[in-house]
Structure 1
Amino acid sequence: MNAKKEAVSILDGFKAFLMRGNVIDLAVAVVIGAAFTSIVNSVVKGVINPLVGAIGTKNLDHYSACVKGSCKPGSDGVEILWGSVAGAALNFLITAAVVYFLMVMPMSKYLARQEARKQARTGKSEPEPNPVTELEVLQDIRDLLISQRTGTVDGVVKQQRPAGPDGR
């Protein structure tokens, strides 16, 4: 009977984990990110790489250096393929630049304009939330532990902290 009860509590815990908002948000972000990856890769492959190829070479994989001995086929030389590393680093930088300049920067400007319009309509900005100190968090944890011990667990802190010298 105890094993069945433990299995049910494990399933309940797993269900609670899955139903948290941040897990759902993460799943949506992964799916959107996968779809977005194909767009970014298409821009890099179809537009940026040919432009870079017009200036230099499209493929750096054949660049290498021989460290020890001869790197001819059948010899005992050690070949370092630095071209593939440089190509991967360049591809990363190009991809990051495309994401930043074509996606992140325009979205940031758009959101800033939206916030400016909202402030212009209301005439005021959002009030700054009061920062929570570490001491206040620890006091809340203490109060919750006390309420658990007394059997009045409802997730609400019963004891209210007095306002500090600045009225918070």
Structure 2
Amino acid sequence: MFKGFKKFVMRGNVVDLAVAFVMGAAFVAVVNSLVNDLLTPLIAAIFGKQDFSALSFTIHHSLFRYGAFINAVISFILIAATLYFFVVAPLNAYNDRKRRKAGLPQAEEPLTEVELLTQMRDLMRTPPPRV
């Protein structure tokens, strides 16, 4: 019973996933600090308002806090842009440079559904090779 559990836990992808989860959790603090401590004040300096959470309106004694929603949307956009420009784009450039150095072909764009289905149809039309 424990032998199977040990084999499962020591499998490479489980350990990799655990490490990625811990690194991701640590990275969240860095990205949140970048957004909250640097980018949001920069936007406040440009547009004059940093916190929209006080914005609200009332309809029939129901309070709608749309300012908090605006804050969440701005935070999401800033975090997504930060991750893209500081993590995804540099990693893609690094991988492309590594591929060129190794003489491998550049990463191709994925096929659309129509292109993929067309290729499948064409493969099904050709008879299998005779052995």
Q: TM-score range by the shorter chain?
A: 0.7 to 0.9
Question: Please, which runs of 5 or more residues in structure 2 have no aligned partner?
Answer: 106-127
Which protein, 1 or 2, shows the higher relative CO under an 8 Å CA cutoff with sep ≥ 6?
A: 2
Which 4+ stretches in 1 moved above 6 angstroms?
Answer: none
How many Å separate the matches in 2 of 1:66 and 1:14? 56
Residue 82 of structure 1: how far off its partner (Å) = 1.2
Residue 166 of structure 1: how far off its partner (Å) = 9.4
Cα root mean square deviation, aligned: 2.2
- What TM-score does the superposition give when structure 2 sets the normalisation length? 0.74
- What TM-score does the superposition give when structure 1 sets the normalisation length? 0.59
| 3-state SS of paired residue (1:24) | helix
| 3-state SS of paired residue (1:60) | coil
Where is the helix percentage greater, Structure 1 or Structure 2?
2
User: 5 Å matches for 1:1-168?
Assistant: 9=1, 11-54=2-45, 55-68=47-60, 77-119=61-103, 125=105, 165=129
Task: Choose 1 or 2 for highest CA Rg.
Answer: 1
Residue 103 of structure 1: how far off its partner (Å) = 1.3
| 3-state SS of paired residue (2:37) | helix
* Identical columns (%): 37
How many Å separate the matches in 1 of 2:25 and 2:88? 16
Residue 97 of structure 1: how far off its partner (Å) = 0.4
How many residue pairs get aligned? The number is 109
How many Å separate the matches in 1 of 2:5 and 2:64? 48
How many Å separate the matches in 2 of 1:43 and 1:166? 62
Which residue identity lines up with residue 165 of structure 1 in the other structure? P
Which residue identity lines up with residue 49 of structure 2 in the other structure? T
Residue 59 of structure 1: how far off its partner (Å) = 0.8
How many Å separate the matches in 1 of 2:85 and 2:17? 24
Question: Please, which runs of 5 or more residues in structure 1 have no aligned partner?
Answer: 1-8, 69-76, 126-163
